Amino acid sequence: MAQTDTFTRWSVIASGEGGGRIASQFFDRTENPGIDDRILVMNTNRADLRNTIDRLKSKLGATEEEDVIESHALEFGSQQGAGNFFPNGEACAREDLDRIVNRITEFGTTDAFMHVATLGGGTGNGSIPYVVDQFKDGLSDLNEDNAAEEWMDSVIHATVGVWPYYYEQPQRHFNAVCGLSRLLRTDDDEQNADMVLLASNSHLDDENGAAGQYDSINEAIITAVDLMIGAGRETRSVIDIKDYVTIPSQMDAYHFTPAVATDLNGSIYELEYMLDQAAEGAFVPMDVETTTAAYAIVRAPERMIDEGEITEPEVYEAFREWTGKNDINVAGQASLTPKRGRGSDVDVLLLLGGFDLNPLLDHSWDDFEMLSDSLAGRSRSGGVDLTTAQLDRIVDNLESYVERNAE
């Protein structure tokens, strides 16, 4: 992939098979401005990692598995899988934290990480919250004075967490609830990730698990990430990752969901209508009126911008009217960013933050409570324990965060 000049230098860290599926789709694109080829996929299970490597080999044109492993893949931990139990995934990451950090630092200086995991499993769901916490805590578990390089102090950590299908087994919903809590809050009830982007499989997939369903879901996620990053690499009304995280973190409302509408005819539709279309495409079940932070990115062909068919003031005004119409008083910004081409197709991304999480959690909470007593405080052969105190802390942290954002 060609290197390009960017305002922000991103690296993608994906863990678990689901995270690897999402990250591998970056390689379907001829270029990833802002990311380029700084992508690492990790797994605790060799067979699952090979599945991801096979996908990457075809996309990279590589002939040898070792070539992909050397540049983009890492097997970590000694357990050969997390057993669909997130504490095992965390233990594997703790065991091999030095190897994970070494591979990440090979990318060189990074301004922002995009950590990717599906929340129903054990590997990504267990390791990603831990890795984020360690980077923000100066890699304290390595017990080395110079473990954290100077550039790491200012890195922003955004995460993508994908909710399991609503029909999946209770264990996966137990993991998802715990994973969301751990992405949002540390054990000490401090903010963990700077931004938590949420998507729900069932909400994005109309066919509810038909063959090949992950491809369309993952492509939707990649499109949203591309639109989000794209707003920070052009000169027109730049919104960058620092804008996305600063005020929401101060508000303690830093969970978001993308809402996307693409290929809208900008010569026909009004901007406010296009924002409405995007809002209908939110990636999780939610009430838009509970949003407390919102960012709008409108991506239009350069021709339309150069010829004044879409202007920055019009985007700002449409966003202001849209928030007023929906009776939401939000912190946020709007941006107009160009794309190549001379057509009229306009893409719109709304990043909706601080919304009431209960409509999403309602799909999983019963399963979570059903398994809580059986999974906490009991020994699991060949793995690690989840103590009752640890689970209580996870629950308390999540409930207090959700309650603050549901008021």
Residue 160 reports pLDDT greater than 60: yes
- Which residues face 196 on adjacent strands? 159, 255
Q: Give the whole-angstrom CA distance, residue 372 versus residue 368.
A: 6
Q: Render pLDDT for 56-88 as a digit per residue (tens, 0 to 9).
A: 766 666 556 666 666 788 999 988 888 899 999
Q: Which two tokens stand for residue 331?
A: 């912190």
Judged by average pLDDT, the poorest of 23-32, 259-268, 307-316 is 23-32
Closest Cα to residue 40, out of 61, 54, 26, 58? 26
Closest Cα to residue 349, out of 362, 335, 367, 332? 335
Judged by average pLDDT, the poorest of 64-78, 110-124, 259-273, 317-331 is 64-78
In which band, very low, low, confident or very high, does the pLDDT at 230 lie, cut at 50, 70 and 90? confident
Residue 379 reports pLDDT greater than 80: no
pLDDT of residue 189: 94
Residue 210 reports pLDDT greater than 90: no
Share of the chain above pLDDT 90, in %: 63
pLDDT, greater one: 27 or 228? 228
Region 196-221: what's the mean pLDDT? 83
Q: Give the whole-angstrom CA distance, residue 251 versus residue 246.
A: 9
Residue 235 reports pLDDT greater than 50: no
pTM of the complete model: 0.92
pLDDT of residue 65: 62
Residue 358 reports pLDDT greater than 90: yes
pLDDT of residue 331: 75
N- to C-terminal Cα separation, the chain = 46
pLDDT of residue 2: 37
In which band, very low, low, confident or very high, does the pLDDT at 4 lie, cut at 50, 70 and 90? very low
- Within 8 A by CB and 6+ apart from 89, the residues are 15, 16, 44, 77, 82, 121, 122, 123, 124, 125, 126, 127
Q: Render pLDDT for 361-370 as a digit per residue (tens, 0 to 9).
A: 999 999 999 9
Residue 134 reports pLDDT greater than 50: yes
Region 12-40: what's the mean pLDDT? 83
Neighbours of 312 (CB within 10 A): 14
pLDDT of residue 59: 64
245 within 8 A of 340, measured Cβ to Cβ: no
Region 324-338: what's the mean pLDDT? 86
Residue 101 reports pLDDT greater than 50: yes
pLDDT of residue 1: 36
